[in-house]
């Protein structure tokens, strides 16, 4: 029967209502999260996805209805509803704003939605989802800040432990814990760890913004006696951060703020919070914990049962109440850092120096879980490294002052003892055993990857295994550097939120993972740390540098203020973040305008095209350095264009008119200053032409010849790139856009330095900071600045998704998108899949003999324009049929080697002759 229905539907003989009833609503999200706890957003946004049978196409939402209640039971009865939207005629299914009565702090709300499709039929109500409101104002905090009640060791700074016992007096309905700290914390209830997040409360501009986390701890409590405890560490707050031996950035203190909210079955409530009745001790097992320098854990000093009721807290002293502020507290809304993949050692070997080294096969960020057995006081010391030198010896020079060493002292139980760090992380592939009792068994060592728990959303693969490894390297570079902030590198004494790295990689990052909340949180810190003159710091959260330039804006770095909000709007339809960041965007563009002269931004400090080819010593005298002024002018134009776009989206018509005129002046000044009468650029570099073309700095009549000059420059370097951080992300995009995809493929597939695949051929499993961080003879670039996990050059991933596979957003959130692949490079297959806010979109092409097949998935409530590489519409087939109005009429004749076809939701299988005469060289995009 099912097969008959599918056949009838395919033939258009099934009544529309029969199919329409099968539309479902699922994947409910509130503020981009599934069933979030502790939101302090007073008007949360709801999103959902439609699902339809695979055999049904063109499904759209035409209306929706939302309802919110204080209980699941209340959803079904209108009298108990907190808010009902009624039927709203709209195709909006992303970021629909709550418009009901004011929300109450610490309350859980349940919601569900149904939708009408374009056949006029409603779906069933979705399964209920919920969100829980956090503490909305400082007055909601009844707990007090507390600090250790003893004088701390100011050198080693062992981790304090804090505890309190309390009684659950009646039958419990629910219990919620709100926790934050000056430093890092790990909380326990009755001996059980609270939550699965690490390095909480994360890193923000602490003096202005400090996150707290919310946990449902109902199942951790018991009737009668209970105990709550916490361990603290220095973390980013007062630990060593960055280089220059900088520490105590935000303060010298360490403190805890914790509040338990108990709701009893009879409706009464009770709060138990940090106060002077808590006990504190310096005699915990964590004797040292530094993010860069590792952790020392002495199991002999572990106070067993200290976070359980009935523990005899001998020698513990009362906590000190501190008058620290609460007005900067906010509910954490981005995904926390969690433990993810684990790796066992591939091999154990002895280096020429006699070192015992374990190889985990993947450069990752996290730590190693280790098991050992021995006598009390026996020592285990683990050192971490990304690479071995050319002789096979352990290499640590590039870590600079980051010792990256963990030490454990055994308790001596006579059994295996297991250890892992609590308040540090390392960037490594290799582990050196500097001390270890007994024989080494690889099974006793497990590497654990840590990163912010952003959902994986995108994948790319192709028929070239080296490019697939490059894609893996890009993804692992992102994982290792997205630990609550987007760091530049995770291993040496730096690990800072460099704005330039984040800006160039933002678009690629959003393909690989859902970065909406991650970047929205970081952008709030960017705005908070922005100078009074509008300058955007080089690193966010901001911190002092001895070279004193952190609050001077720089092109390509500070432009994160404009680029990333626009990327979030493009990829996720996040209009609210765009509106929140709009004043910051304005202030940054105003900063540049205030420092311009005659329409040119050629003053102040600039990084320029950082780490371009000329920086190295391998260029045989040729210069690939681009004028810093030219780079700055291009990025001023880009930020102004994005600010203009934002003004139009937000309905700021006067601002839009102003920025339109400003942009024209910026581009006119660029042409006057940097373009010769013959159309050449004053800097004859790849980056100069790439930026001028990417940001439309040249008049239309000069663009084609500028692209030709770019191709000529690439040829002069024997089809190698010479670009740095700012030119590299757009190099292949520009070549593809102007009809030179063949050159883009040549650059991608180069295996010799400098190129993307050169590190892959050298065994890299992440992206390097420099094109030659390791030279062909296996020696290293200067250790003063050589990272083997630095994601910036991984921005090529954006081109893999958008040009090789051909998946591109044309409306916010991929409400409308394009599939326009550019086959080439000898590839026989490429595919990209992206979990958009509307559902999964996919593009996959494959060539076989004389035919090309293009498979496309379009999620419900979206449309796509599919550009099939073909000479004419007549030769294109969808399934076994010629193109006709039933599946989407071609929007025009073949142009540039493509036949464009607009389609609704569904799965499509297009075929066309390959290679076709008109597609031998695909035209400009």
Catalytic residues: 494, 769
Burial readout 854-873 (b: 16 or more C-beta within 10 A, e: otherwise) = bbbbbbbbbbbbbbbbbbeb
**Cβ(690)–Cβ(743) below 8 Å:** no
Burial readout 177-209 (b: 16 or more C-beta within 10 A, e: otherwise) = bbbbbbbbbbbbbbeeebbebbbbbbbbbbeeb
What are the distances in angstroms from CA 310 to CA 168, 177, 278, 283, 513? 14, 21, 14, 18, 45
Beta-bridge partner residues of 68: 83, 111
Q: What is the C-alpha to C-alpha distance for residues 514 and 457, in angstroms, rounded to an integer?
A: 6
Q: What is the C-alpha to C-alpha distance for residues 925 and 918, in angstroms, rounded to an integer?
A: 15
Beta-bridge partner residues of 97: 45
Helix 628-649, helix 575-595: angle, nearest 10? 140
Residue length of the chain? 925
Q: Which tokens is 58 given?
A: 């063109």
Q: What is the C-alpha to C-alpha distance for residues 200 and 190, in angstroms, rounded to an integer?
A: 20
Q: What is the C-alpha to C-alpha distance for residues 691 and 673, in angstroms, rounded to an integer?
A: 15
**Cβ(240)–Cβ(200) below 8 Å:** no
Q: What is the C-alpha to C-alpha distance for residues 637 and 555, in angstroms, rounded to an integer?
A: 11
Q: What is the C-alpha to C-alpha distance for residues 870 and 876, in angstroms, rounded to an integer?
A: 7
**Cβ(604)–Cβ(629) below 8 Å:** no
Query: Alpha-carbon Rg of the chain, whole angstroms?
Result: 29
Q: What is the C-alpha to C-alpha distance for residues 799 and 496, in angstroms, rounded to an integer?
A: 26
Sign of the dihedral defined by the CA atoms of residues 405, 408, 409, 412, in that order: negative
Q: Which tokens is 531 given?
A: 């100078």
Strands 851-858 and 906-913: antiparallel
Omega before 790 within 30 of 0, i.e. cis = no
E strands, 190-284, are 192-193, 210-216, 224-233, 255-264, 269-273, 279-281
Beta-bridge partner residues of 270: 262
Strands 255-264 and 224-233: unpaired
State whether residue 55 is helix, strand or coil: coil
State whether residue 197 is helix, strand or coil: coil
């Amino acid at each position: 029967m099912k097969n008959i229905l599918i056949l009838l539907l395919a033939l258009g003989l099934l009544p529309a209502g029969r199919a329409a009833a099968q539309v479902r609503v699922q994947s409910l999200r509130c503020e981009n999260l599934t069933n979030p706890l502790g939101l302090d957003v007073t008007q949360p946004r709801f999103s959902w996805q439609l699902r339809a049978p695979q055999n049904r196409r063109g499904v759209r939402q035409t209306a929706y209805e939302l309802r919110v209640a204080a209980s699941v039971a209340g959803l079904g009865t209108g009298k108990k509803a907190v808010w009902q939207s009624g039927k709203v005629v709209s195709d909006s299914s992303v970021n629909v704003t709550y418009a009901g009565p004011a929300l109450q702090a610490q309350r859980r709300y349940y919601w569900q939605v149904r939708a009408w499709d374009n056949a006029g039929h409603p779906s069933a109500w979705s399964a209920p989802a919920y969100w829980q409101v956090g503490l909305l104002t400082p007055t909601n905090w009844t707990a007090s800040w507390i600090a250790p009640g003893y004088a701390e060791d100011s050198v080693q700074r062992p981790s304090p432990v804090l505890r309190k016992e309390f009684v659950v007096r009646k039958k419990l309905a629910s219990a919620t814990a709100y926790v934050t700290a000056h430093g890092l914390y790990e909380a326990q209830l009755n001996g059980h760890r609270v939550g699965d997040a690490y390095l909480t409360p994360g890193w923000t501009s602490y003096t202005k913004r400090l996150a707290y986390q919310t946990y449902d701890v109902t199942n951790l409590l018991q009737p009668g006696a209970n105990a709550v405890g916490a361990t603290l560490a220095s973390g980013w707050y007062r630990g060593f951060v960055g280089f220059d031996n900088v520490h105590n950035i935000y303060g010298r203190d360490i403190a805890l703020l914790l509040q338990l909210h108990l709701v009893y079955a009879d409706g009464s409530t009770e709060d138990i919070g940090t106060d002077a009745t808590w006990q504190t001790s310096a005699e915990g097992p964590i004797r040292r914990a530094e993010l860069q320098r590792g952790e020392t854990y002495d199991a002999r000093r572990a106070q067993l049962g200290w976070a359980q009721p009935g523990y005899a807290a001998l020698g513990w002293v009362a906590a000190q109440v501190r008058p620290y502020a609460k007005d900067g507290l906010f509910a954490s809304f981005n995904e926390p850092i969690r433990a993810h993949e684990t790796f066992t050692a591939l091999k154990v070997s002895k280096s020429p120096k006699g070192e015992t080294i374990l190889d985990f096969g993947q450069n990752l960020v996290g730590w190693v879980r280790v098991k050992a057995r021995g006598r009390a006081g026996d020592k285990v010391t683990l050192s971490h490294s990304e690479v071995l030198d050319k002789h096979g010896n352990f290499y640590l020079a590039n870590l600079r002052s980051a010792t990256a060493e963990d030490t454990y002292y055994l308790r001596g139980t006579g059994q295996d003892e297991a250890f892992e760090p609590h308040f540090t992380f390392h960037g490594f592939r290799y582990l050196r055993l500097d001390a270890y009792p007994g024989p080494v068994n690889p099974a006793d060592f497990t590497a654990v990857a840590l990163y912010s728990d952003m959902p994986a959303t995108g994948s790319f693969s192709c028929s070239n295994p080296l490019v697939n490894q490059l894609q893996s390297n890009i993804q692992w570079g992102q994982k290792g550097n997205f630990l609550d902030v987007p760091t530049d590198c995770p291993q040496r004494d730096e690990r800072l939120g460099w704005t330039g790295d984040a800006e160039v990689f933002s678009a690629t990052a959003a393909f690989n993972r859902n970065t909406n909340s991650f970047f929205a949180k970081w952008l709030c810190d960017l705005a908070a740390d922005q100078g009074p003159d509008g300058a955007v710091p080089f690193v966010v959260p901001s911190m002092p540098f001895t070279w004193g330039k952190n609050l001077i804006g720089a092109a390509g770095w500070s432009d994160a203020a404009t680029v990333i909000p626009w990327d979030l709007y493009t990829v996720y339809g996040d209009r609210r973040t765009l509106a929140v960041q709009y004043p910051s965007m304005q202030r940054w563009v105003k900063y540049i305008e205030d420092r311009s002269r005659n329409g040119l931004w050629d003053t102040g400090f600039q990084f320029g095209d950082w780490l371009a080819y000329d920086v190295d010593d391998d260029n045989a005298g040729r210069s690939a350095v681009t004028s810093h002024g030219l780079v700055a002018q291009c990025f001023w134009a880009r930020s102004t264009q994005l600010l203009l776009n934002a003004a139009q989206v937000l309905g700021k018509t006067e601002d839009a008119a102003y920025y339109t005129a400003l942009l024209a002046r910026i581009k006119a000044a660029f042409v006057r200053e940097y373009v010769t009468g013959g159309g050449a650029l004053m800097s004859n570099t790849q980056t100069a032409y790439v930026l001028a073309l990417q940001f439309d700095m040249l008049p239309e009549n000069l663009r084609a010849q500028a692209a030709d000059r770019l191709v000529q420059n690439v040829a002069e370097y024997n089809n190698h790139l010479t670009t740095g951080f700012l030119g590299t992300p757009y190099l292949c995009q520009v070549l593809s856009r102007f009809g030179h995809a063949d050159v883009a493929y040549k650059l991608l597939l180069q295996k010799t330095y400098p190129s993307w695949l050169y590190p892959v051929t050298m065994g890299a499993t992440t992206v390097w900071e420099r094109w030659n961080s390791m030279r062909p003879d296996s020696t290293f670039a200067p250790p003063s600045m050589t990272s083997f996990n630095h994601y910036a050059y991984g921005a090529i991933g954006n081109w893999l998704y958008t040009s090789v596979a051909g998946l591109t957003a044309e409306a916010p959130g991929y409400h409308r998108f394009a599939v326009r692949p550019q086959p080439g490079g000898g590839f026989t297959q490429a595919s990209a899949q992206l979990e958009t806010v509307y559902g999964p979109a996919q593009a996959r092409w494959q060539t076989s003999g004389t035919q090309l097949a293009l498979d496309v998935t379009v999620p419900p409530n979206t449309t796509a324009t599919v550009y099939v590489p073909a000479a004419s519409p007549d030769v294109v087939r969808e399934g076994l049929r010629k193109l006709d109005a039933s599946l989407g009429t071609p929007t025009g004749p073949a142009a540039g080697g493509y036949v464009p076809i607009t389609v609704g939701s569904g799965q499509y299988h297009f075929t066309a002759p390959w290679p076709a005469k008109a597609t031998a060289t695909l035209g400009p995009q």
